[in-house]
Amino acid sequence: MKRAGREWAPVVLVFAAGMLLWQFVLAPWLGRFLLPTPVQIGKSLHEHWSVLWHAGWFTLQEALGGFAIGCGLGIVAALALARYRRLSGALMPYFIAANAVPIIAFAPIMNDWFGLLNPHSKMAIAAVLCFFPVMINTMRGLTSVPPAAIELMRSYAASELEIFRRVRFPTALPFLFTGLKVATVLSMIGAIVGEYFGGSIQALGVQIENSVTLFDLPLAWAAIVVASSMGIAFYALIGVAERFTMGWHPSAHGE
């Protein structure tokens, strides 16, 4: 308990200092019309909680769908590229090129393909963002096994499938979870960016855009708080899954 308190104390102190600085320095300096105070944002969050919660849940479902699709394809691609190294050399430049394209360039295209109001268009955008970090991290883990361990398995006449199951995949788990944590944040970003180019009025990104257009900045910031909170909760959920899955590994204990 004391250790947890020591770990969280700096986080709480920095947060409190940031809120005080925002409330009494930044907001008065920039003008409360341009930068609402935390008190104004909290009031708007309380007044519009029902609308913001439903909008956040709608967007979170899009992010979850994109996360599942992008991460699933990333893991499958990593398994294939780690198994067939020549294929990796042939395809990797194209994966890098696709990842280098700004997401705002993909968003209108996905909306045209799947439909402006179709949640699948936002899932596709989120999937594109999630694919690359998961694929790269997983492949790095799969190919980081010490050669001696591979040779030992082969000396016992282990098949390639057994080597993957018993050696490569356990070694890749810390790398995989690192990619999944990055993908949780990217999936929310992808879903909200996609909504900025058109989406259901129930979506959080549309709520933010409409609030800014109507100069209701406290409501816009309240929607951003909801999006950030859901992103943090999603990240924490993957962290909990990592601890349960990798209790045997030193990285799960910060060692």
Q: pLDDT tens across 144-202, in order?
A: 877 777 777 777 767 777 777 777 788 888 899 999 999 999 999 999 988 888 777 88
Give residue 59's pLDDT.
Answer: 93
Mean pLDDT across 115-129: 88
> Measured between alpha carbons, how far is residue 119 from residues 74, 110, 122, 145, 155 in Å?
21, 10, 5, 40, 51
- Asked if residue 35 lies in contact with residue 23, where contact means CB atoms within 8 angstroms, the answer is no
pLDDT at 247 (0 to 100): 64
pTM of the model: 0.84
DSSP state of 56: H
End-to-end CA distance of the chain: 19
Burial class (CB in 10 A: 0-12, 13-18, 19+), 127: buried
Place of tokens 């994109």: 66
Q: Is the predicted pLDDT of residue 100 greater than 70, yes or no?
A: yes
